[in-house]
Amino acid sequence: MAIPVHIYPLSRLVHASAASWEAELRKIEEGKIHAYRYYFPLREAVVSFCKSKGKKRDSIVLNMQNSAATISASRGANPVKDNLTAFEMFEDRFYPRVSSFGQSLLRDENKNGCAFEGLTLSGLPHFIAADDGGANRYVYLHASKWDNDDLKAYLELLSMIVESRFGEPAETLWCMDLRTGKDLRWKSSPRMRTRCVNAARLYARLIEAMQSPQ
């Protein structure tokens, strides 16, 4: 039986040392994916903004700020400010390059998942849109501060889901970096794919061992 896992925690295992696997597995078991919750107001606002073709900006931003204000954050973090800063980066650097909005994927549960090395991967891009060249793109809004290797692993896993779920090549994945204002048109790497395969196989073996009768 395939083991369900979200691509976010699995991506953290791709480059993790043996000593850090226990902590990462604990995060998976507890289901605490803080990065997802922290910037969810931003993602909802971006999708609403694109759907409205740039209209109703003030009300969309106000709703985003109100939603962000309810998020529990560690000391020194400011969810309202951080969500607003990321939204303004999207608005300034990326929205002019979105020629048309296609479909939101924020609340798509992706029930079937993506079979991968004994696992069932879950996770999706945030929405579908056409870029300024008219090409269909699967947009991932990247706002959190991640290690570069972790980001690459996440995008590799996400590209697998794009290939499996939508039948589109990895190159259609469009990562918008809302920290730098730069975009990353992903290209799958054989080396990264191998690392993901190895991490998935090890994760599946560990879970199976933990669940097997004594």
Residues 6+ apart with CB under 8 A from 104: 47, 51, 126, 127
Q: Would you state the pLDDT for residue 28?
A: 58
Q: Would you state the pLDDT for residue 35?
A: 60
CA dist 159 and 161 (Å) reads 5
pTM (2 d.p.)? 0.86
Nearest to 155 by CA among 185, 132, 131: 185
Q: What is the 3-state secondary structure (H, E, C) of 146-206?
A: CCHHHHHHHHHHHHHHHHHHHCCCHHHEEEEECCCCCEEECCCCHHHHHHHHHHHHHHHHH
pLDDT in tens, the chain (214 residues): 577 878 877 887 788 776 676 676 666 555 445 567 889 999 999 999 999 999 999 999 999 999 999 987 777 789 999 999 999 999 999 999 999 999 999 987 656 778 898 889 989 999 999 999 999 999 999 998 888 888 999 999 999 999 999 999 999 999 999 999 998 878 888 898 999 998 888 888 777 766 655 5
Q: Would you state the pLDDT for residue 75?
A: 74
